[in-house]
Chains A and B, each alone.
Chain A
């Protein structure tokens, strides 16, 4: 048995130059995992490596030694002297480590709070460890729990519910205006990075087609090829506009390229089928007054930024609720973990004293004369009674409800004062007594 330790670094603790040096590319992870668990004092190990973080989670015999071993592993595996990176590394032990992984999986520790990828990445890390057999019963249970905590956070709070990037916010809005995007057409005016990103999101959301126009027709053709769309000459923009449901615009024009009367005309021709203008240009391309026309919606870059700002604020509010869920789950899991430590300790304690008793009884019986069965019974009974009475208080203390006490410390103390081996017998997680011993 032992303690869970996590050593790692993330976007807050380390700049990208350090993160990339300590990252584990997918094809080297098996080798790394094996190297990790071969180290002394490390029983199980999982490595999570993404562009924003590296986390090495191990089950160590002793937390202090475990932290040291993992740091040495990081340094030697990457061939970087430890002092060079030590300041960027954080480490969590025991309950802190449990909390850390739960928060990471629930995306509460992410750069973009609530972003959905991290859970998949944690699952991948778990998958690698399972594939290379470096995960055992404790970390197995630990990671499975982390997944269910993340799921709880996702379903019970709104931490991941609304878009927090401009392009996603545009897609979310389009969905609320049009419902299904399947039969909708996009018009892309000009070429801005954010517009192209939004166009890509819309395409993956399933829009029917895309038209691309640009002042230089060649660029429109090139971009249209990229999006598998239709290039449109800039001077034909107005005549094609009636086919467009969603208009993404970011030209460098110094004035509006679409005035309110022009939009009114188009919407009339369209028989009021709604149009959604996403104007990412500064200065703006679409007259904001057009937003007052029925069935026309005009959002400029500030509007979209406001939308995501409110969403971010909401996520932060929801994060407080998520932290409560995590705290409750940490408590639950720590209890389970402690129980895993207590049972084998009791087993070892009894075993040790039984051995002492048996040796002493044998000696005493030999001195009294081996042939007297009655004497042997009396000595045995005496020794057992003393043993049970002496052992009762420490065992009862270990078994008592751990409410408000640090059980791990108690376990460590008991092991120390009775000189029990720290790693102990590799007892199964349920702590089943071995060799017919009885646990009281």
Chain B
């Protein structure tokens, strides 16, 4: 039951994404309103599926690639809906909803059967470590979307040809503010996620840090966001520079999550395609 529930949410995210794309093209309010409705229903069903799977499996279902991609999609949609509530920034949905859909459909093509939990993962640290990181990553996904929007809008204003993009995208200042807010929320989550992981590693593997590829790439990601936060606070990095760093940061997030899983075997191989 929970598998089909998790997979059917893909459909809701697809319709939501299409409606948001329809909205950015035509600017018909109804597209955004319906799109938000579909995402909301999708995320509620998704959460229900997550809980159902938790009871069916007996552990927090974020242990393999299917589960974590699915959870990531849910986190992105959830964080987006909250952002939209705060900033009333519907156009952001045209960038974020397709992103969430991509993760969701990726998950939908993976085998969803509950597997026996690897003994090393049987720990209370599992939900804490993974959920912190995925929510942090979802917040960075928002910064990524806002970063792309910023670069598009900035190019439009600098080139002085004010066309369709100029009209549709919000002001540079709002996009930059989202960049900053995402950073102040996402960075602590990322930091805590790494710290809890490190503590758990000490229990499970006997060492806080073992330069496993996932750990290395987490550190690279962390350093990127740390540099951005530092630059913002001290020398006033903002705008274009901040947008580019947020985009790079999210690329690092994706590589840490997917690239490492699929390409670089290491201690964290629970969530590779085969696992």
Contact A294 B239 (CB under 8 A): yes
Contact A272 B239 (CB under 8 A): yes
Contact B237 A272 (CB under 8 A): yes
> Which residues of chain B have C-beta atoms less than 8 A from A295's C-beta?
238-240
Contact B171 A291 (CB under 8 A): no
B255 an interface residue at 8 Å Cβ cutoff? no
Which of the residues A179, A273, A310 comes within 8 Å of B163, measured between beta carbons? Answer: A310
Main DSSP-derived SS at the A contact region: mixed
Contact A307 B160 (CB under 8 A): yes
Which of the residues A179, A306, A311 comes within 8 Å of B171, measured between beta carbons? Answer: A179
Chain A, residue nearest B164 (CB): A314
B194 an interface residue at 8 Å Cβ cutoff? no
A152 an interface residue at 8 Å Cβ cutoff? no
Given A303-B160, A307-B160, residue A179 in contact with residue B235 (CB < 8 A): no
Can you name 25 A-B pairs with beta carbons within 8 Å? A161-B167, A162-B162, A173-B162, A176-B171, A177-B173, A178-B172, A179-B171, A179-B172, A179-B173, A270-B236, A271-B235, A272-B236, A272-B237, A272-B238, A272-B239, A273-B236, A274-B172, A294-B241, A295-B239, A297-B157, A299-B160, A307-B160, A307-B162, A310-B162, A311-B162
B153 an interface residue at 8 Å Cβ cutoff? yes
Chain B, residue nearest A311 (CB): B162
Which of B160, B163, B170, B235 has the most CB atoms of chain A within a 10 A radius of its CB? Answer: B160
> Which residues of chain B have C-beta atoms less than 8 A from A173's C-beta?
157, 162
CB distance from B157 to the nearest CB of A (A): 6
Q: Mark each residue of chain B from 205 to 239: 1 if its CB lies under 8 Å from any CB of chain A, else 0.
A: 00000000000000000000000000000011111
Q: Mark each residue of chain B from 135 to 156: 1 if its CB lies under 8 Å from any CB of chain A, else 0.
A: 0000000000000000001000
Which of A176, A270, A291, A310 has the most CB atoms of chain B within a 10 A radius of its CB? Answer: A176
Chain A positions within 8 Å of B, measured between CB atoms, are: 161-162, 173, 175-180, 270-274, 291, 294-295, 297, 299, 303, 306-307, 310-311
Cα(A299)–Cα(B157), bound, Å:
10
> Which residues of chain B have C-beta atoms less than 8 A from A271's C-beta?
235-236
> Which residues of chain A have C-beta atoms less than 8 A from B170's C-beta?
179
Given A176-B172, A274-B172, residue A297 in contact with residue B240 (CB < 8 A): no
CB distance from B14 to the nearest CB of A (A): 28
Cα(A175)–Cα(B167), bound, Å:
11
| Interface members, chain B 150-195 (any A CB < 8 Å) | 153, 157-158, 160-163, 166-167, 170-174, 177
> Which residues of chain A have C-beta atoms less than 8 A from B163's C-beta?
310
- Given A178-B173, A272-B237, A303-B160, 14 more A-B residue pairs with CB atoms under 8 Å apart are A173-B157, A177-B157, A178-B171, A179-B171, A179-B173, A271-B236, A291-B158, A294-B239, A295-B239, A295-B240, A306-B161, A307-B160, A310-B161, A310-B163
Cα(A194)–Cα(B171), bound, Å:
24
Which of B163, B172, B235, B241 has the most CB atoms of chain A within a 10 A radius of its CB? Answer: B172
Contact B236 A176 (CB under 8 A): no
Cα(A306)–Cα(B161), bound, Å:
8
Cα(A100)–Cα(B153), bound, Å:
40
CB distance from B229 to the nearest CB of A (A): 15
Chain A, residue nearest B29 (CB): A155
Chain B positions within 8 Å of A, measured between CB atoms, are: 153, 157-158, 160-163, 166-167, 170-174, 177, 235-241
Contact A306 B166 (CB under 8 A): no
Cα(A72)–Cα(B161), bound, Å:
52
> Which residues of chain A have C-beta atoms less than 8 A from B239's C-beta?
272, 274, 294-295
Contact B172 A162 (CB under 8 A): no
CB distance from B228 to the nearest CB of A (A): 14
CB distance from A317 to the nearest CB of B (A): 13
CB distance from B150 to the nearest CB of A (A): 11
Given A176-B153, A310-B161, residue A294 in contact with residue B171 (CB < 8 A): no
> Which residues of chain A have C-beta atoms less than 8 A from B174's C-beta?
179
Cα(A419)–Cα(B174), bound, Å:
73
> Which residues of chain A have C-beta atoms less than 8 A from B166's C-beta?
176
Chain B, residue nearest A173 (CB): B157
> Which residues of chain B have C-beta atoms less than 8 A from A307's C-beta?
160, 162
> Which residues of chain B have C-beta atoms less than 8 A from A299's C-beta?
160
Cα(A175)–Cα(B174), bound, Å:
10
CB distance from A173 to the nearest CB of B (A): 7
Chain B, residue nearest A177 (CB): B172
Contact A175 B171 (CB under 8 A): yes
Contact B158 A177 (CB under 8 A): no
Cα(A375)–Cα(B235), bound, Å:
113
Chain A, residue nearest B160 (CB): A303
CB distance from B112 to the nearest CB of A (A): 43
Chain B, residue nearest A163 (CB): B162
Given A274-B173, A307-B162, residue A176 in contact with residue B238 (CB < 8 A): no
> Which residues of chain B have C-beta atoms less than 8 A from A291's C-beta?
158
> Which residues of chain B have C-beta atoms less than 8 A from A180's C-beta?
173
Cα(A178)–Cα(B167), bound, Å:
14
Closest 9 CB pairs of A and B: A271-B236, A179-B171, A179-B173, A272-B236, A179-B174, A303-B160, A295-B239, A176-B171, A178-B173
Which of A270, A272, A274, A311 has the most CB atoms of chain B within a 10 A radius of its CB? Answer: A272
Chain B, residue nearest A308 (CB): B162
CB distance from B232 to the nearest CB of A (A): 10
Cα(A173)–Cα(B161), bound, Å:
11
Cα(A180)–Cα(B238), bound, Å:
17
CB distance from A185 to the nearest CB of B (A): 14
Cα(A311)–Cα(B161), bound, Å:
10
Cα(A294)–Cα(B157), bound, Å:
12
CB distance from B1 to the nearest CB of A (A): 45
CB distance from A114 to the nearest CB of B (A): 15
CB distance from B269 to the nearest CB of A (A): 42
CB distance from A178 to the nearest CB of B (A): 5
> Which residues of chain B have C-beta atoms less than 8 A from A294's C-beta?
239-241
Chain A, residue nearest B240 (CB): A294
> Which residues of chain B have C-beta atoms less than 8 A from A272's C-beta?
236-239
Given A272-B237, A294-B241, A299-B160, residue A177 in contact with residue B167 (CB < 8 A): no
> Which residues of chain B have C-beta atoms less than 8 A from A273's C-beta?
236, 238
CB distance from B153 to the nearest CB of A (A): 7
Chain B, residue nearest A178 (CB): B173
> Which residues of chain B have C-beta atoms less than 8 A from A303's C-beta?
160
